[in-house]
Amino acid sequence: MEQKAKRIEFRFGKFGKLAPLIVAAGMILWAAFSQSNVNGYVLAFFAALVTGVIFTKDEKAYGEALVYGLSKPMFGVIVMAVILAAISGKLISASGAVQTIAAYVVAAGFTGKLFVAASFLITCLLAFATGTSVGTYFVVIPILFPVGVMAGAAPEFMIGAIVSGAAFGDNLGPISDTTIASSATQHADLGVVVKTRMRYSLPAAAGALVLFLLFSKTSEAGAATLTEAGTANPVSLVMLAVPAVIIVLCLLKKHLITALSWGILAGIAAGLLFGIYTVEGLIAFPGGFSVSGAIIEAITGTSGTVAMLIAVFALLGVVECSGLFEDVGVLLSRFAKSERSTETAIVLSTGVLSMVTGVISVAIVALGDLVNEIGEKAGVNRYRRANLLDCTGCVFCFLAPWTVHCVIPAQQSAQFGEGFAVAPASIPFVNFYSVCMLVMLVTAVITGYGRKHK
């Protein structure tokens, strides 16, 4: 069980408390404008952690807060999932299965914008069924992303479609942690929450689909890669056992880590049985204190993303122990007067915390009791509050380029080569679902759309 660290006091008041976040924001903007890969964001968050030492009054408490952030179960789950997903993705990509599927897709004429739109819909369904956006990335990106790029879609729009579909599933899925957290904190019936949330999520999804069909760009880089890859190899399609096993186990409500592990075992067995891989191709010890093979290459390739997650969760511990959550809550209660101003306060405060923490459910739980209290006083019904909390999180958290919703897709895109790599900072601009949901939220608060649940 995680044990919360003691409260941290900072020099120079609120400025000292915000100094690490200011440093992180400044370096993130620098990295974004420079079109940096994940490593630029790694530097930003570690710089923020080091800066905090200058301003803290109690260095021991500061260190304990860092460890507290790393003790959160979500940290271990995501790190393990990133590593295991890299292995499963490597088993698929190195087998030739992606090139084979892409060849069939191109032959069928299902290319460019059509494939982007289809990828969005497929990801929507999978994320809705499994209830996990992060888990969906690990299943979908290794296959749909490279196939789409080879079929002529621009890499950033393929990633945008997948992230958008994951956001939809996270937003509406009845077994999503955000749906459960938003309904539980507002004491609202889960079934009614999902039913009323359709008023927001379905129009946003329809808008995103239209935008992908209209504005998705095409690229020649993937087609060139497909040409260089040669003819299709139907035998390689047996490696689809990897995502199939993972999807089935996720649908059976198995833990993401065990689902990924079984997927890897299925892939290794299928690869060896059909002669796609040799033992030496997967694991080899050639001597000279070295290790080679597809598996170790996949593991070491995640180092940047893992370092990023270490820094992010450590900073999350500092933010939580600094009292920033409580400060946002105080501002929320002061601003909330009328029904509309209360809804505005809910959206703004949830948006800020979801971006700062990078975890929507954390922001919802942190604000849940206060939102419940001020919402009741202002006459905002529980279903409206639950929907505002969740929909806001699925906008701002997905649009912040330092969260897992941009960093993990960017890391996974880079493993296919330079022509496939997508910078984290470019993903928010092609996440059409979250953009459309932002429009829905603004419209809902201003006009009162969806305010009554009956």
* pTM for the whole structure: 0.85
Over the chain, what is the mean pLDDT? Answer: 87
Reduced 3-state DSSP string for 154-198:
CHHHHHHHHHHHHHHHHHHCCCCHHHHHHHHHCCCCHHHHHHHHH
Which of 307-346 are b and which e, b meaning 16 or more Cβ less than 10 Å from the residue's Cβ? bbbbbbbbbbbbbbbbbbbeebbeebbeebeebbebbbbb
Per DSSP, what are the bridge partners of residue 231? none
pLDDT tens per residue, range 77-107: 888 988 998 898 889 888 888 888 888 888 8
- pLDDT at res. 445: 93
> Is the per-residue pLDDT at 2 higher than 60?
no
pLDDT tens per residue, range 314-358: 988 888 888 887 787 777 777 777 888 899 989 998 998 888 888
pLDDT bracket for residue 1 (50, 70, 90): very low
- pLDDT at res. 51: 92
pLDDT bracket for residue 222 (50, 70, 90): low
> If you average pLDDT over residues 124-128, what whole number do you get?
89
pLDDT tens per residue, range 349-362: 899 888 888 888 88
Whole-angstrom distance, CA of residue 119 vs CA of residue 450 = 29
Q: Which of 67-76, 272-281, 313-322, 333-342 has the highest mean pLDDT?
A: 272-281
> If you average pLDDT over residues 52-64, what whole number do you get?
91
